[in-house]
Amino acid sequence: MTAQTKVDQTERFVSLFVTLLQAPRRGLTKAQLRHAIDGYRGLNDKNFDSKFERDKAHLRELGIEITTEENAGASSDSFFESGVLYRLDPTRSQIPAIQFTSQEAMALALASSIWSDPNFGGAAGRALARLTSTGSFDVDSSRFTARLTVGEAVLTPLTQAALRGEPVSFAYRNVTGEESLRRVAPWGLGSRFGLWYLIAFDLERREVRMFRLSRIVSAIEATAAVGVPPRPEGFSAREYLSRLSADEATTTARVRLAHGRGQDLRATATRVGASEIPGFDDAEFAFHDAEATAGRLAGLGPDAEVIGPPELRDAVVRRLHGALAAQSAPLPDYALKKTVATGRSSGVAMAARALSIVAFVQHRGSASRAEIREHFGISESTLTTDLQRISMLGPDDISLGTRIDLDFEADPVQISTPPELEAPLVLSLTEAFVMVVGLRMLAQVEGTVTKAAVAALTKLEEATKHLPVLDAIDLQSRAEDDLELSGAIKRAVAEQRTLTIDYFSPARDEITGRTIEPIRFLESGPAAYVQAYCRERQGIRLFRLDRIFGHALTEETFELGDRHSVDTHDLTRNLYTPQDDDGAVVLAFAARLDGLLRDYAPTRVAAGHGEHQDFRMGEVRIAGSAHAHRLVAEHGGDVFVAGPQTLAAETAAWLRRALSIYSIDSESGNAP
């Protein structure tokens, strides 16, 4: 689809909205709308009906529902009066007046900034623009930062399916390693113990089931189904997730570890003793999820062998074999190009932004182009395009309403609209979801904006109470996993006190003592972090709480200075920070792991087409070959080294050694 076609589409369905908003209370017929809106003229009946239905669907995505009723007094020979009447209820298409304090507006800004997924992040930005016309905030001033990352590649499509009530299908691997196709109606999602769960009605088994997202081994596909039960009234994801127990969810792993390797596993092991295999120790430790634990063990390559249970051993072998297959496959053709911003906004996103600009300028009376660009995070060329689009919105037939009037080249910008458009557009389901979930995350963790987040959340939930589906998503703060540690970190941040920690570095597979000056507490999807100045490394570092195996809060204080400066926006965009001595490599990530690629901040990217799936290639900087080996093994075929060739060959050889530990023929995949 060309850019011009997309613009025309956006103008057309937003003009449908503007026209219906000004229509008489009784509504307008389809024939009247076809006559009034420029984008419908010249279409034959089939094309008009198709575009009209598509435009109504786009408006539903924006949270705008068009209602219909029969025109009882219609005459059969009257072109303009016959047929069904279409109308909008302005009270359901616009946000009720909500007054937020400056602190509450700050909380809203933080809540909108924490989504790393580009689709959810864009929705959050649009929601913020309509909820408050206050200028931008310096989120660096907050001592708590959240980053809502999907973590699991399937989380985004499952969340969208749950919000829309659409059945889906996927391949699922159970605890014994058996795979089967599941067709479900998603009801809700949530996180516990660092794992994501889907609560869904299984369409084949006709009962509610919970699925671990780490065991979903395919893309999420829409599926047709009949007899799909709706989400029960009063459904709560939290209620289902509360039935999970951390203790009941654990199993004991028995693993052989090479001397000095697997330091994090040794630190949590219930038993470590000499092995019958020279150069190895036998260790036992508890784990929650075989697939997640298999990733860590596969990353140790030839330095670890799982003795039991069988499902964990099989999961590790499966990952190693998948990784070797991907690493040994013919390299797809690709041409790296400099990283650019993610693609063009969808028509729905452009429409939402255009209407938000109208409300923003209307609220102020006028706004400079610089103010609009800053508030919406857009370029001058995008702003000009948006203003041109806005100037075309509305009916051509003046008897059915007026168009929006503005000079798209003026500075400052002034917009004259029908009075029906002076209130901001209602939040769509996705926009309401991302803001409510973001505020709930902020409200969970103590900080300077906690009270404001709770107050803003209360107001927003009242305004979106017609969307009970928002209760379908439940997030649990990872800080709750270790309240003693997270409490000490928060106290260190608040009181500017140093903290000594014993920290595990997976890159070096060692635990070392560190003295840190904590700056911020960060929640990021499946993990919690402390951002701090590390005295040993003499720089800003991120430390994962689940890799801290000992800590002590000291009485020594520190003053914030230049050494503590960091761009919080970069912090929330990607968590892997390359160091000066890191080398450049080209890694290929399965298309569904695009978010992981973004975390590595690639300088150049490309698309690659493998035999079984598409890949996203990225030139990134990593800390040596061991990092590449671990990353490839952990993802079991969804990541491989594309270059340099020496590292690719070295990685394949390392994977063959790892499989030989299990007496697996790396060529056939079978035990001899």
pLDDT band of 148, cuts 50, 70, 90: low
Residues 454 and 523 in one domain: no
Name which of 44-48, 171-175, 428-432, 553-557 the model is least confident about.
428-432
The stretch 271-296 carries a mean pLDDT of 91
Domain membership of residue 295 (yes or no) is: yes
| Token pair belonging to 403 | 């168009």
| Token pair belonging to 80 | 């303009």
| Token pair belonging to 535 | 């005295």
Domain membership of residue 565 (yes or no) is: yes
Residues 76 and 7 in one domain: yes
User: Which residue did the predictor score with more confidence, 132 or 204?
Assistant: 204
pTM assigned to the model: 0.66
Name which of 185-194, 200-209, 392-401 the model is least confident about.
392-401
Cα-to-chain-centroid distance, residue 161: 14
Domain boundary residue, one of 241, 276, 297: 241
pLDDT at 133: 61
pLDDT at 108: 87
Res 1 pLDDT > 50: no
Residues 208 and 284 in one domain: no
Domain boundary residue, one of 241, 265, 285: 241
| Residues whose CB is less than 8 angstroms from the CB of residue 41 and which lie 6 or more positions away in sequence, other chains included | 34, 35
CA–CA dist 71, 29 (Å, integer): 8
pLDDT at 473: 74
Residues 146 and 179 in one domain: no
Q: Which of 95, 99, 109 is nearest to 63 (CA)?
A: 95
Residues 378 and 454 in one domain: no
98-118 confidence digits (pLDDT tens): 888 888 888 888 888 777 666
Measured in residues, the chain has a length of: 672
Domain membership of residue 594 (yes or no) is: no
pLDDT at 632: 96
Task: List beta partners, residue 606.
Answer: 617
User: Which residue did the predictor score with more confidence, 198 or 238?
Assistant: 198
Strand-strand pairing, 337-338 and 639-643: unpaired
Name which of 238-247, 278-287, 580-589 the model is least confident about.
238-247
Domain membership of residue 529 (yes or no) is: yes
Domain boundary residue, one of 206, 241, 276: 241
CA distances from 258 to 91, 141, 198, 503, 636 (A): 67, 46, 37, 20, 22
The stretch 66-73 carries a mean pLDDT of 73
Residues 48 and 23 in one domain: yes
User: Could you give the percent of the chain with pLDDT greater than 90?
Assistant: 29
pLDDT at 56: 86
Q: What is the mean pLDDT of the chain?
A: 81
Res 370 pLDDT > 50: yes
CATH of the domain at 216: 2.30.30
pLDDT band of 555, cuts 50, 70, 90: very high
| Contact status, residue 114 vs residue 148, Cβ threshold 8 Å | yes
pLDDT band of 78, cuts 50, 70, 90: very low
Domain membership of residue 25 (yes or no) is: yes
Question: Apex CA 290: angle with CA 286 and CA 294, to 5°?
Answer: 100
Q: Which of 436, 480, 568 is nearest to 146 (CA)?
A: 568
pLDDT at 577: 63
Residues 495 and 561 in one domain: yes
Number of structural domains, the chain?
Answer: 5
Name which of 94-98, 465-469, 551-555, 665-669 the model is least confident about.
665-669
CA–CA dist 615, 26 (Å, integer): 52
pLDDT at 93: 67
CA distances from 333 to 362, 590, 652 (A): 51, 15, 19
pLDDT at 644: 95
User: Could you give the percent of the chain with pLDDT greater than 70?
Assistant: 82
| Contact status, residue 108 vs residue 100, Cβ threshold 8 Å | yes
Strand-strand pairing, 604-609 and 614-622: antiparallel
Domain membership of residue 559 (yes or no) is: yes
Res 140 pLDDT > 50: no
CA–CA dist 479, 403 (Å, integer): 52
Residues 378 and 458 in one domain: no
- Find the DSSP H helices in 62-143: 90-93, 102-113, 118-131
The parent domain of residue 307 ranges over 251-325
| Contact status, residue 159 vs residue 189, Cβ threshold 8 Å | yes
Rank 71-85, 170-184, 459-473, 566-580 by mean pLDDT and report only the highest: 170-184
Residues 515 and 450 in one domain: no
Residues 210 and 267 in one domain: no
CA–CA dist 179, 31 (Å, integer): 53
Name which of 201-210, 239-248, 315-324 the model is least confident about.
239-248
Domain membership of residue 225 (yes or no) is: yes
DSSP letter (8 states) at residue 428: P
Residues 146 and 159 in one domain: no
Residues 204 and 271 in one domain: no
Domain membership of residue 195 (yes or no) is: yes
CA–CA dist 126, 562 (Å, integer): 34
